[in-house]
Amino acid sequence: HIHTLNQSAGALEATLALLKPDILANPAFVDSIINDIQNSGMKIALRKQVFWTQGQAEQFYAEHRRRFFFDRLVKYMTSGPVEAIALSGPNVISWWRQKMGATRPAQMRMTNPTCLRARYGLTDTRNSFHGSDSVESAKRELVFVFGQPAYKQIIL
């Protein structure tokens, strides 16, 4: 019952959204997506442009290290800067995941054409966006990008 009540009230959460290098290659895309977020009612708590080393990208995606796409994923994520955005708001983790759509842009263009990955995504790897998938991942990823003290400020 408590769970249901929290859901209807909208649990206050934080999440890490990433605009991947193909989006940053087109500044107009960044502006449009940021505007979209700002008009949604969700809060941009922090923003930071990062340019990951191979080691940082490997660490961020460590859970995928045995997958066939790992090398190309790390290459993609180190091909240019990434915009890291700490979002906060009620149920923001699932809100951002739904706004992005699922992993594969071509599939999204068939099933969910208004989602961000359908509109901007290039390939299964170069899918333009990241969003934390749980409260625990969000914490780990926000601390990874912004550091522990900043994370504590975000969740206050």
Min dist CB 5 to ligand IDP, Å, is 28
One of 38, 48, 133, 135 touching ligand IDP (CB under 6 A): 133
How many angstroms from the chain centroid is the CA of residue 136?
14
Q: Give the integer Cα–Cα distance in Å for 109 and 35.
A: 22
Closer residue to ligand IDP in complex, CB, 89/141: 141
Active site residue 3: no
Say how many residues make up the chain: 156
Q: Please work out the total of residues on this chain that contact ligand IDP, with binding judged by CB under 6 A.
A: 9
Nearer Cβ to ligand IDP, position 32 or 103? Answer: 103
Distance of alpha carbon 50 from alpha carbon 7, whole angstroms: 33
Beta strands in 20-61 (DSSP E): 43-50
Active site members: 130
Q: State the residues that interact with ligand IDP by CB under 6 A.
A: 64, 69, 73, 103, 124-125, 127, 130, 133
